[in-house]
Structure 1
Amino acid sequence: MSEVVIDQVHKSFGAVEVLKGVSLSVAPGEVTALIGRSGSGKSTLLRCINGLEQFQSGAIRVAGHDVTPDRAALRKLRTDVGIVFQSYNLFPHLNVAENIMLAPRRVKGVDKATARKKAEEVLALVGLSEKIEAYPDQLSGGQQQRVAIARSLAMQPKVMLFDEVTSALDPELTGEVLAVMEKLARDGMTMLLVTHEMGFARRVANTTVFMHQGRIHEAGPSRDLFENPKTPEMRQFLKADVK
């Protein structure tokens, strides 16, 4: 039984078709990396999975939820599907604990003491227990991104989506964030991630999907895909990445 099923999804922005019949499935506990050039449809696909973008045709089912434009259905979907973006989107007037506690209290109706306990748990998981009372402007970019991950984890999602979460970070801070994601993978979190970190995709992802011009061009076990690319487009992409 797959945790994520994407079936022949088409998505257009005006006259521009961005996703051209994408089909993909992810089993529980699997990590799938989406790679490809800018404009290939990776981030749009991720946003469709979480209902942030409406698609024109096809079907998506995630963690037992059918993705539809219905607001009530979307609220239920997002209690089980977390998403972390390149920008941290932390509330600057709230401290770390308050940022993390906000969604469980407002969306799930969790009481303050329980939400605080969960905030402490997820901060320990991302290695930031000592920053629980800090404000976002007192944190480095890598620390803010780890708090953003902790905030999603506090909702106890079944699936986590990561959209280029390290692209705004320098190499040292990138390593901090990737280490957290690798730990989540080891702990069995179902994850889809859009990434330019080819080494991370090869090492951590069970499956890598190469998207090209709105379609899945190649897909398979990560090591096989990187060691034996089958198409000229994939070979060219990997060659450019090495440079």
Structure 2
Amino acid sequence: METDFSGRQALVVGGTGGIGATIAQGLAERGAQVTVHGGSSEDRLRRVLQGISSVGGTAQGFLHPITSAESVDSLFRRLPRVDILVWAWGPFLRKPLETYTSGDWEYLAKANFSWPGAMVSLTLRGMLDRGWGRLLLFGGTNTDTIRGFTSTAVYSAAKTALAVVVKSTAKTAADRGVTCNMICPGFVDTEYLSEEARAYGKSKSPNHTLLSTRAVAELGIQILLSSQINGAIIPMDGGVTL
């Protein structure tokens, strides 16, 4: 297992808040040169970059809304090299299956499957050429295998499909020094969680607590350091799926 990311270029998509921001700092603390991607908030981006600087890390960042396949391509073109890809962004929608619109289906499928999958393909090419790369994606709660969902069916279907991309990438690239893995967190205590969602998450967890972003980020960093963890779909949910 490597001990740090010195000399590696990392891109964290969705790095201005939640799990992404914490992973971005963890990568920088271990020597990576981090590019922090955000969607729209200059304040969030500035705070994350200041936090990384305060611990002696090196980072740059920019805002680049992801709204189409073309915006994924243009995001990739802004970076000369990506050794480590962390995709920590994905919109969530909870409502009864029969109330989803065609627009809901299209957007959630693109944002949680097609666009992260496209970025995997784009960054993988350079990783294979250089003989080293790390990709870390995020699933949803209970999406480590095929299950049924009554209120998050579309989001969860897209995340379950993304797991196929993870395993396919691992199988394709394992002999070229590249790994690809997925963490499926449970209910994580982020600034995006409403009080209602926070209470719901605690009620579903066997230990009645929420995950911290620090705990998820620490697992992510260990996965990224390892050359032997590959194609893994890892539930980290405090036992919600038991």
Question: Scaled by the length of structure 2, what TM-score is found?
Answer: 0.36
Higher RCO (CA-CA < 8 Å; seq separation 6+): 1
Q: Which has the larger radius of gyration?
A: 1
